[in-house]
Amino acid sequence: MESILETKLQELKNLTIEIGDLGAVSSILGWDQATYMPTGGATARGRQIGLIQMLSHQRLTDPKLGKLLDDLRPYEESLPYDSDEAALIRVTRRNFERAVKVPTEFMYQMSMHLSDTYTAWVEARPANDFARLAPMLEKTLALSRQAAEYFAPYDHIADPLIDMSDYGMKTESVRALFAQLREQLVPMVQAISEQPIADDSILKQFYPVDQQRAFGEQVIRRYGFDFNRGRQDTTPHPFMTRFAADDVRITTRFSERDFGDAFFSTLHEAGHAFYELGIDPGYDATPLGGGTSAGVHESQSRLWENIVGRSRAFWEFFYPPLQAAFPDQLGKVSLDAFYRAINKVQRSLIRVDADEVTYNLHVMIRFELEAQLLEGTLAIRDLPEAWHARYQSDLGLRAPDDRDGVLQDVHWYGGLIGGAFQGYTLGNLLSAQFYQQALQAHPNIVEEIRCGEFKTLHHWLRDNLYVYGSKYTAPELIQKVTGGAITIEPYLAYLRAKYGELYSL
Ligand code: ZN
């Protein structure tokens, strides 16, 4: 009996690897589209990606897979919850049950539509042309509602969409967490804004791209990025994507007039890559072989970008080599002035350029607007003005146009509306919770960072977080690592300590 079930388990694993490989093919096509493909390839590429996603969805919803999962249920129940075999069956079943609710034809239509919308956005954003995108966005909203309806009943229409990226979270739980955070952040931002604004003009000098790239690669290599298992290319909107256990791609964008833009996005995407590269290689291409949620993923990008990469200890080591790389720009600038410049807090219009203190306010605006669009309490035609109104009330600013307003983020133009933004703030909160645990286990980590050593931190994260891939859900993993649930306190303590010192609060 046992051996029949083991054969079935192997069959299940083989099927999931085929699905995983189709997913990787789709990711390669997407990566090429964003990096090297000439614009002329767009229509065919949309079709090709749509086809691969349809094939993948067909396999994931194949009744043969459902039958295998049923047959394996007693076997799963006989195994410890923590075993890899039980996890493979459990996670495959979750994906299967989710996928069968959505018709393949819908997936295909959605993929084609989103590809067209993305292509239009690439042109419409610089042209400040929301009107051109509005009809497409109407359709995206209808598709997003339809996607949610497949999972009815729900408490809130955004719940199924949130569940797809941050399993276990709901509109209500996110709203509650955000409300607590907002209550603490607003007075902090207010207190900082009453002080003189930090001078970051040193970062806006001319920084040649080649030297920027070399310096960024030097730092992530020191973090532990293995260029035999990954590479970095350039795109307008930086991202990380995984093709296999030993092949991840990160992208960045360079601005000759802004040192921070490419450098911190390089650290950010490297953090995402470390998560993927640290997963048990035995899980490769199976449903366990990927990060467990958007929020946990983002915790790793923010940890390496901000908690480590914007810390004083980090720059005590890296500032001298940075000055050597850019002697004309930084040779006469003190470490303290540089540290203040990269941690400048100021209310601003662009989420991706926002500092650690104001960043989450940008996320909350988007999360609320998404929820309202889905609820039907906000219409697409009123979205640009609703955006401006929220920026005015929450950040005291109004963008001069839609380019730096509602058109600034790719998410609604390349994906569904709903479930797209909460992961950023969940990630910020978790970055501090996980880092706190790492420091408790190894109080010498800060001293090591001061010496440009990252092994203890990197290995602790790998052994306690990365290695598990999607074996545990995000709430399970957070419980396992921190002994509790997601909470705002460690993040607030981190902000208070760092910015309290910087701004003598
Ligand atoms: Zn990220």
Residue found under tokens 């919803």: 61
Residues identified as active-site: 269
Which positions of the chain have pLDDT values less than 50? none
For residue 344, the CA-to-ligand 1 centroid distance in Å is 20
Taking the centre of ligand 1 as the mean of its atom positions, its distance from the CA of residue 294, in whole angstroms, is 8
Rounded to the nearest whole angstrom, what is the distance from the C-alpha of residue 427 to the centroid of ligand 1? 9
Tell me, in angstroms, the distance from the centre of ligand 1 to residue 153's CA.
Answer: 31
Instruction: Give the sign of the dihedral formed by CA 431, CA 433, CA 437, CA 439.
Output: positive
The rounded Å distance from CA 32 to ligand 1 centre is 19
Q: What is the pLDDT of residues 9-64, one digit of tens each?
A: 999 999 999 999 999 999 999 999 999 999 899 889 989 998 998 899 999 999 99
How close is the Cα of 236 to the center of ligand 1, in Å? 14
DSSP structural state of residue 234: E
Asked if residues 394 and 362 have their Cβ atoms less than 8 Å apart, the reply is: no
Phi-psi region of 241 (alpha: psi -120 to 50; beta: other; left: phi over 0): beta
Q: Is 104 exposed, middle or buried (0-12, 13-18, 19+ CB in 10 A)?
A: middle
CB-based contact 240:25 (threshold 8 Å): no
Q: Which of 459, 456, 452, 458 is nearest to 222 (CA)?
A: 452
For residue 461, count CB atoms less than 10 angstroms from its CB and return exposed for 0-12, middle for 13-18, buried for 19 or more: buried
309 Cα to the center of ligand 1, angstroms: 15
The amino acid that residue 431 corresponds to is S
DSSP letter for 347, please. -
User: pLDDT of 49-107, one tens digit each?
Assistant: 989 988 999 999 999 999 999 999 999 999 999 999 999 999 999 999 999 999 988 98
Distance of CA 145 to the CA centre of its chain: 23
For 362-429, give the DSSP string.
HHHHHHHHHHHHHHTSS-GGGHHHHHHHHHHHHHS---SSSTTTTTS-SHHHHS-SSSSSHHHHHHHH
- pLDDT computed for residue 295 by the predictor: 98
Separation of 329 CA from ligand 1 center, angstroms?
29
**Cα–Cα distance for residue pair 486/434, rounded to 1 Å:** 10
Please give the pLDDT value at position 449: 98
279 with 249: CB under 8 angstroms? no
Which class would CATH give 171-365+419-502?
mainly alpha
State residue 108's pLDDT score: 85
Helices and strands, number each (H, E), in the chain:
22, 3
- pLDDT at residue 1, as a whole number: 53
Q: Please state the separation of Cα 284 from the chain's center in Å.
A: 20
Q: For the chain, what are the domain ranges?
A: 2-124, 171-365+419-502
Cα(409) to ligand 1 centroid in Å equals 13
Using alpha carbons, list the distances in angstroms from residue 419 to 135, 144, 174, 220: 21, 10, 11, 30
CB-based contacts of 349-354 (< 8 A; 24+ apart in sequence): 349/391, 349/395, 349/397, 349/399, 349/404, 349/405, 349/408, 350/404, 350/408, 351/408, 351/409, 352/265, 352/408, 352/409, 353/261
Dist. CA 392–CA 458, nearest whole Å: 40
> Residue 298 C-alpha to ligand 1 middle, in angstroms?
5
Please report the pLDDT score of residue 2 as a whole number: 65
- Residue 424 CA to ligand 1 centre (angstroms): 7
- How much distance in Å is there from the Cα of 136 to the middle of ligand 1? 26
Which bin fits 168, alpha (ψ -120 to 50), beta or left (φ > 0)?
A: left
At residue 337, the pLDDT reads 97
Distance of CA 146 to the CA centre of its chain: 24
Distance from the alpha carbon of residue 473 to the mean position of ligand 1, in angstroms: 19
Closest by alpha carbon to 304, among 117, 449, 485? Answer: 449
d(CA 408, CA 461): 32
